[in-house]
C-alpha cells in the first residue's frame, strides 16, 4: 500500500465517516452535503492519524515499527505538512456545508492536534479525547440532517464504546508507553484495574442499548442486531479479564471494532425496517 494512504489508516477514516451516513439513513435525509460531510470526516480523521504518527514517532519505533514514519517510508517533515494540508481541506469542505459544520471541523482538528502532542500521554484524558472525537462525528452528521437530538444520543453510545476500546489499546501498548514516560491509565493504575474499567464500560453500554428501543427511537429489529454487538462486547471483556497477554489484547481490540460496526448497522436496521 502507498505509505501516504497507509498513514491515513483508511479503514479507521472510512469508519469514522460512517457516522455521517448513518445520520442520513436514520433521519431520511439524502443530499450532496451528506457526501461532502462523510468526505470531510474521512479526510480530517486521516489528518488526525497522520499527525498522531508524527508525534508518536519514538513510541511507534517500539510498538509499531512497520508504520510509514518509523519504517522510513515517509519523513517526519512530509508527514507534518501532509497532515496540515488535509486538515485545511477538511475545514474548507466543512464550511462549504455550513458555518456550524466548518466550526466543528476546526474544533475537532484542534483537539486532534493537542491530543497527539499532549493529551495522548495523560491518564484517561487521552482516552476520553478520542472517544469525544468519535462521538462528535455523529453530531457533525446531525448538523447536516438537522436532527441534533438523535445525533447526541447516538454520540453518547459511540463515546462509551470507543472509551472501552481505547483503554484496551493502551493496555496493549504499555511497553512502548513506559519507555516514552507516558502516563496512560494502565501505567498509572495497572493493567488489571484498566481492564476492569473497560469491562465495566462495556457492561454499561450493553445495559443502555435497549433504551433506544424502549423510547421508540429504533424498531425491534435494532434490538436483534445490537444483541450480537452486546455479546461480542461482553465476550471481549471476559477474555481480557482472563488473559492480559499482548496478543490477546490486540485481538480483543479488533473484535471490539467489529462490535462497534455491528452496533452502527443495528442503528440502520432499527430506523429503516
Q: What is the mean pLDDT of residues 79-85?
A: 95
- Domains plus CATH for the chain? 3-272 (1.10.357.140)
Render pLDDT for 128-156 as a digit per residue (tens, 0 to 9). Answer: 999 999 999 999 999 999 988 899 999 99
Q: pLDDT at position 38, please?
A: 96
Q: pLDDT at position 60, please?
A: 77
pLDDT, mean over the chain: 90
Q: What is the mean pLDDT of residues 180-199?
A: 85
Confidence of residue 61 (pLDDT cuts 50, 70, 90): confident
Provide the percentage of residues in the chain whose pLDDT is more than 70.
Answer: 100
Q: pLDDT at position 248, please?
A: 84
Statement: residue 174 has pLDDT above 90 = no
Closest CA to 206 of 238, 184, 249: 238
Report the 10 Å Cβ neighbour count for 3. Answer: 16
- Can you tell me the distance from the alpha carbon of 129 to that of 114, in angstroms, rounded to the nearest whole number? 10
Statement: residue 237 has pLDDT above 80 = yes
- Grid-cell match 494512504, residue found: 5
Amino acid at each position: 500500500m502507498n505509505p501516504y494512504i497507509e498513514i491515513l489508516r483508511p479503514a479507521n477514516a472510512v469508519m469514522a465517516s460512517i457516522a455521517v451516513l448513518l445520520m442520513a439513513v436514520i433521519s431520511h435525509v439524502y443530499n450532496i452535503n451528506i457526501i461532502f460531510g462523510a468526505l470531510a470526516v474521512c479526510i480530517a480523521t486521516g489528518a488526525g492519524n497522520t499527525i498522531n504518527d508524527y508525534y508518536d514517532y519514538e513510541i511507534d519505533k517500539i510498538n509499531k515499527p512497520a508504520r510509514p514514519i518509523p519504517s522510513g517510508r515517509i519523513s517526519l517533515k512530509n508527514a507534518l505538512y501532509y497532515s496540515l494540508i488535509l486538515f485545511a481541506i477538511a475545514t474548507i469542505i466543512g464550511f462549504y456545508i455550513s458555518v456550524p459544520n466548518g466550526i466543528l471541523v476546526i474544533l475537532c482538528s484542534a483537539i486532534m492536534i493537542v491530543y497527539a502532542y499532549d493529551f495522548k500521554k495523560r491518564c484517561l484524558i487521552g482516552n476520553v479525547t478520542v472517544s469525544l472525537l468519535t462521538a462528535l462525528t455523529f453530531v457533525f452528521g446531525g448538523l447536516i440532517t438537522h436532527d441534533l437530538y438523535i445525533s447526541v444520543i447516538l454520540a453518547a453510545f459511540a463515546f462509551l464504546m470507543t472509551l472501552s476500546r481505547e483503554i484496551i489499546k493502551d493496555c496493549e501498548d504499555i511497553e512502548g508507553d513506559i519507555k516514552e514516560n507516558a502516563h496512560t491509565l494502565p501505567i498509572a493504575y495497572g493493567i488489571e484495574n484498566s481492564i476492569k474499567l473497560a469491562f465495566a464500560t462495556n457492561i454499561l453500554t450493553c445495559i443502555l442499548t435497549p433504551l433506544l428501543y424502549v423510547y421508540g427511537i429504533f424498531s425491534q429489529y435494532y434490538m436483534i442486531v445490537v444483541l450480537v454487538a452486546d455479546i461480542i462486547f461482553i465476550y471481549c471483556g471476559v477474555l481480557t479479564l482472563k488473559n492480559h497477554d499482548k496478543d490477546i489484547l490486540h485481538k480483543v481490540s479488533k473484535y471490539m471494532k467489529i462490535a462497534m460496526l455491528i452496533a452502527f448497522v443495528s442503528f440502520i436496521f432499527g430506523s429503516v425496517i
